[in-house]
Structure 1
C-alpha cells in the first residue's frame, strides 16, 4: 500500500511506532549511567538479550549455507542454536514483548495486540499500526496510548516484569529501545512543545523503568558521552546502529547492568517490504554483530562472565502478490453488518468493530441480538481464512476456514500437551492440526505450536464479546485503512511460520525449561541467581 502523509504527521507516526518516550535531561541520563556503575559489585554473570525483530531460522540457515553470515556462523558453532522457540499470540511486537518481559501470555499481561477494542472505554486502542489508520484514529490518542498507557494502565500492574523482579533481587537492569520497559526506577520524560500542540501529552511524563532506560533521542542517557545516530533520517534513534552503539559503550566503559535488553528493529521493515527471500536485511545485521563479538572475545579476561542471547520475536509468512487476491477485506465480507469505519465513534447503530493485526484480527460483536457463531460462519466461508475462534462459557470453539470443520476445547482434563498443560478436546483435531496418543493421553502440535494455550490467551486477554480470526499463509486481513504487504512479509497469526523463532545462546550451557518466549524470563532469572531456581509455573 502506498503511503503519503505530511512530514509533521510522519514524524509523529515514527514516534508512535517506536512506542517510546521523550528526551530526558542530561542529568537524568548521567544518573542512569552512574546508577549502573554504583550497583556493580564483585565479578558476576551479565546477561545481554538481543531481540532482533522478525529474525527467522530459515534466513539464518540459508545465509550460512551461502557463506554470507560469518557472525551468525560463529555464534552457532560456539554456542547453542534452537530453531523452534514458540512466540506469543498474536505475533505482534507489543504483545510478544509483554510476554517476554512478564513470562506470561496475554490473558495475564493484558496487552492483546498492536490494536484492540476497549469494551470499557468504547474505543479502539492503537499503538501504531500504520500511517493511514493512525491518522484516522487520531495521532493524539495513539501517542497517549503508546507513551503513557501501554507501560502504564494497560500492562497488568499485578504481574511483575523482569525489571521489577531483578530490582527486588538487588540486580541492575537496562533497556535499549525496548517497547515494554516498566521497572522500579523513576524516570521523567519530557514532551517537546511541538508534539504537545498536536497530541494530548503533557509536558512531563513520570514513568518507572529499569535502572538504565534508553529510547533513541527520546530518552538518551548517552548523549553527553557518545555521538549517537538519532536524527530524523535515523528514525530518531530507533534503529540497530543506535542500539548497538549504546551497547558497545556500556561494554567499553565497564557499565553493563546485570541484565540488558537490546532491541534491533531494522530487519522487520526490510522483510515486510521485500519478503522472505531477500537476505539483505540479515546480512546487515550480521555485519553489525561482528564488532560486538570481537569486543566480547577480546575482553573475556578483563570483564565479568557475559551470556549473550539472540532471539527473534516472530516469524513471517510470504504474502502473495495483490493479483492473487492476498488482501482479505473484512468489511466487504461483512457487508450485511454495520462495521465501524476507522476513526469514527461507536454508536447505537454499530454492529461490529474490527482491530486488525496484519494476519490476525479481533472482531467485536456489539449487537446482543446477533450471535458470534453466525458471524464466525460468515467469515469462515472465505477460503483464505485459517481459523475463527471464540469463547462459549468455559469452552473455546474453533472453526476452520473454507471447510467449516469444528473443534472445541477447555482447560483441565486428561489430555496433556508437551508443556504439561491439561485439556479436554472435542471435535475434529485436524482443525488445529492436533494429534493425540491415546495410550498416553499425550497431545502434540503440528502447524499451530502451543495452539490451545496461545489461542486461549488471546481470547481471555481483555473484556468483550469477540472473535479471533487468522488468515492462511500467503494472505493478510485488512480493514478499510489497514497497512498491507502484498509481495512482502506479514505476521500476526497462529501458524508455525509466524510463531517459531530462533534462539541462540552464547556463553552458557544452560537451557530454558521449555522453548517458548514466555520461558525466557525465568531462564534469565536463573542465570543471574543460580541459588534460586525459577520455573515458568512459578510465575503463573
Structure 2
C-alpha cells in the first residue's frame, strides 16, 4: 500500500525533526468474539484476495517456468479469466470502491487517488507521492485517507459488500482494505508519532465489517498473535501481515462468511522495476500456498471455501528517461493560472490538475476558455491518447494528434456486450469501437467497456473538467506528482492497464460478466447458494 508507505516516510521525517515521539495507545477490539460465521449457514465461505497490480502475463510466464505451483493448482481446479475489466481510472481506491459496491465512480463517487473538490475548493489527495503529500500537507492527506474516504467521500447511498451482507445476517471481514465501510463500530488507534505532527485524534470511531484489520491502526489479533506491524514493516500494510491474519482465522475456526484480503507488495516492485518482473508473483504464490495449508491441504481448502484471486489494474512499462516519457501538464498549460498543491482555489485560479499517473483530471475553474479550448491545446502532444469531457448530456472524446472527435451518450439503439445501450456520433474509431450495423451492436477492442467506464469517470464528481489518458509508455505529471521512468504505471483506459486476471476455485458457478463491477453480485449469489454435492467435492 504505497499510500501508507509514503505517509510513514514523511511522518518519520517530520517527527525526527520535531521530536514528537511517545507511547503508542493499544487498540481494544473484540472482533474475534463475533466474527465466526453461523454454523448453519448453507453455503461455502468466500475468500477474495486482491493482489495489487497482478497481471495475467506474469501468471502465464511464471506457470510456464514452473515457478507458480499454487496459482497453477487453483487454475487447474477452477476458472481462469485473463480479461476481467477494471474500473476507471485504473487506480486502487477507485477500483476497490467499484469492487466492493458493484458500481462505477458515477455512483460510488470516489473519482481517483487525487481529485478536485468543488465543494471545498481544493485538491483531495489520498497519498500519491512524497513530494505531493508534503506540498498538500500531511494533515489533510492523512485525514482524507483515514477519515473522509470511507466516512464522507464514498457515497452513503451505495451499499458496500459488508453493509449488504450484514442485512442478511452474514459475517464479513476486511484485512488491510482501504475501502471497508460496514455496519459494525470499530476504533482506529493513531500512534503518538503520527498524531504529533497532525491534528488527528488518538482514536477514530469508524464503521466496518465484523472483522476489521487495518495494519497497526486496527489489529484484532493484538495480544493474541505477534504480527509484523512495526514501522520497518509498513505498520502491518504488507503481505505477511495479511496472510498471517487469514491463517489465524482459518486455524482457529474464526473465518467469516466473506473475507476480503489485500496484498500490496507486488505493486511496489512493478512501479520500480516494470511489469515484466515476476519475483514478487513467485513470493506471493508461496504465501498463497501457506493459506491453503492452513486448511490442512489444498484440496481441503477448496472443500471448505471458495477462493477468488483477482488483480486490480494492469501496468504499462514506462519508457526510460531518454525517451521523454513524462508529459508535463503545468508546462503545457503555462498560460493559465494553475492551482498549487495544498492551496485553496480563488477567483484568480484558472485551472486545477489532479494527476493519477497515466490519467489526469484537468478542471476549468475561472478561465474564460472552454473545456474544448483547453483540449485543443493538449491534443497537440502525440504522447496523449485522448481528451474527453461532458457537455449538454453528451460525452466528447478528442483523439490527440488528429482532428477526430467522437461523441456519445447513454441510451439509444446500439447495445454493447454488457446490455448497455448507447447513442453514437461519428468517428467511433476514436475509441476503437467495432459497430455491427445490421444487428445494432458494438464490440470493445483497445478500450474495454470504454463507454460506461469513461462516462463513470466524467460523472464521478461535481465540476467542469477534462479526462486525459496517456498512450502506453507515457505518464502525466503535475507540479510535484511522482513519475516512474523506466518502471511501471497505470491509470489509463487502454487494455494493458484495464484487463486483469481472475481466478475462481471451489465453485463451478461463473460470473455474469468479466468486470470488476460484476464481482459483488456474483459473490452475493455464491453466499446465498446452498451447497451441492459437486461443490463440496469440487
TM-score when normalising by structure 1: 0.93
The offset of 1:27, in angstroms, is 3.8
SS at match of 2:412: strand
Partners of 1:115 and 1:229 in 2: how far apart? Answer: 29
Partners of 1:24 and 1:69 in 2: how far apart? Answer: 41
Matched-pair contact (CA < 8 Å) for 1:24–1:189: no
Matched-pair contact (CA < 8 Å) for 2:118–2:462: yes
Look up the match of 1:371.
370
The offset of 1:296, in angstroms, is 3.4
The offset of 1:56, in angstroms, is 0.3
Q: 1:439 to 1:207 in 2, by over 3 A?
A: same
SS at match of 1:198: coil
Partners of 1:154 and 1:288 in 2: how far apart? Answer: 33
Q: Deviations over 1:405-424 (max 9, x none)?
A: 11000001000000000000
Q: 1:91 and 2:72 equivalent? A: no
Q: 1:103 and 2:102 equivalent? A: yes
Partners of 1:214 and 1:308 in 2: how far apart? Answer: 19
Matched-pair contact (CA < 8 Å) for 1:385–1:472: yes
Matched-pair contact (CA < 8 Å) for 1:55–1:267: yes
Partners of 1:24 and 1:102 in 2: how far apart? Answer: 33
The offset of 1:5, in angstroms, is 9.2
Look up the match of 2:426.
427
Matches within 5 A, 1:36-47: 36-37=35-36, 39-41=38-40, 44-47=43-46
Look up the match of 1:245.
244
Matched-pair contact (CA < 8 Å) for 1:44–1:304: no
Partners of 2:98 and 2:7 in 1: how far apart? Answer: 35
Number of equivalences: 519
Matches within 5 A, 1:255-334: 255-296=254-295, 298=297, 305-334=304-333
SS at match of 2:59: helix
The offset of 1:204, in angstroms, is 2.2
Partners of 1:507 and 1:264 in 2: how far apart? Answer: 21
TM-score when normalising by structure 2: 0.93
Matched-pair contact (CA < 8 Å) for 1:90–1:494: yes
Partners of 1:5 and 1:307 in 2: how far apart? Answer: 34
Q: 1:327 to 1:8 in 2, by over 3 A?
A: closer
The offset of 1:509, in angstroms, is 0.5
Q: 1:122 to 1:66 in 2, by over 3 A?
A: same
Look up the match of 1:413.
412
CA-atom RMSD in angstroms: 2.1
Q: 1:212 to 1:285 in 2, by over 3 A?
A: same
Q: Deviations over 1:480-539 (max 9, x none)?
A: 2010000011000001000000000010011111100000000010000127xxxxxxxx
Partners of 2:300 and 2:281 in 1: how far apart? Answer: 30
Q: Deviations over 1:309-358 (max 9, x none)?
A: 00000000000001100000001111111112222332222111000000
Q: 1:336 and 2:331 equivalent? A: no
Q: 1:70 to 1:5 in 2, by over 3 A?
A: closer
Partners of 2:9 and 2:180 in 1: how far apart? Answer: 27
Look up the match of 1:499.
498
Matched-pair contact (CA < 8 Å) for 1:26–1:224: no
SS at match of 1:508: coil
Partners of 1:91 and 1:416 in 2: how far apart? Answer: 24
SS at match of 2:339: coil
Partners of 1:176 and 1:401 in 2: how far apart? Answer: 41
SS at match of 1:387: strand
Partners of 2:442 and 2:13 in 1: how far apart? Answer: 47
User: Any unmatched runs of 5+ in structure 1?
Assistant: 14-22, 532-540
User: Any unmatched runs of 5+ in structure 2?
Assistant: 15-23, 531-538
Partners of 2:141 and 2:120 in 1: how far apart? Answer: 14
SS at match of 2:31: helix
SS at match of 2:517: helix
Partners of 2:118 and 2:499 in 1: how far apart? Answer: 31
SS at match of 1:307: strand
Matched-pair contact (CA < 8 Å) for 2:416–2:442: yes
Partners of 1:5 and 1:99 in 2: how far apart? Answer: 24
Partners of 1:92 and 1:7 in 2: how far apart? Answer: 20
The offset of 1:39, in angstroms, is 4.5
SS at match of 2:143: helix
